[in-house]
A = this chain, B = another copy of it.
Amino acid sequence: MGTAEHVTRTALLDAGVALASLRSLHQLSVNDLVKQAGVAKGTFYVHFADRTSYLVALHRRFHDELWTRISTATSTLPPGPERLHRSITAYLDGCLDQPATRAILFDAHSEPALRDHVNGRNTQSIKVLSIDLRASGIARPSEKAHLVVAMTVEIALSESRAGRRLGALRSALFEFVAASPT
């Protein structure tokens, strides 16, 4: 297989996701992680150089999964309002499927080790979104993209808390975007 050698590593990351849905990221201790994963404490350091590397890996896995979903949903579309709509929907549905959403979106940027990674992902999202906004002919596409990302994250957090899609919030976001001056 070639994957068998990563079973324990994956188990540790899964343990992090499980615990992150209960506590904040900062409270995720190596003690808790190995207990949840059912391995010895030393095993943690077989797979990760330190706690920081682990958090980076957790963050990366979360966003890679999201990114895959969004790419799949939008790959055949040209930039424009339709792609914008599908990107945001794929992002929100993807977040709702991941139990660690609250921890990653809420806590990650106040973890010093992750701040740069979070900012990087954010900048990338803003860039992609601003292409769609520009293609839609909307004024101030960069700034609007910045705000659309903020709104989308907020909706993802609300939905994650509620445990279901919040259609009214999504509609409010799309109304803002659709009505924006061109």
Per-residue CB proximity of A164-182 to B under 8 Å, as 1/0? 0000110111011101110
Q: How many residues of A contact B (CB 8 A)?
A: 34
In the bound complex, how far is the Cα of B147 from the Cα of A180, in angstroms? 15
Q: Which residue of chain B has its CB nearest to the CB of A155?
A: B147
**B143 adjacent to A154 (CB under 8 Å):** no
A window 88-147: CB within 8 A of B: 106-107, 109-112, 139-140, 143-144, 146-147
Contacting residue for A180 out of B23, B151, B179, CB 8 A: B179
A147's partner among B23, B26, B112, B169 (CB-CB below 8 A) is B169
Would you call A151 and B147 a contact (CB within 8 A)? yes
Q: How far is the CB of A133 from chain B (nearest CB, A)?
A: 10
Residues of A whose CB lies within 8 Å of any CB of B are: 23-27, 106-107, 109-112, 139-140, 143-144, 146-147, 150-151, 153-155, 158, 168-169, 171-173, 175-177, 179-181
Q: A140-B171, A146-B154 are in contact. List 8 more A-B contacts (CB 8 A).
A: A24-B110, A26-B26, A26-B110, A110-B110, A143-B169, A143-B172, A147-B172, A151-B151
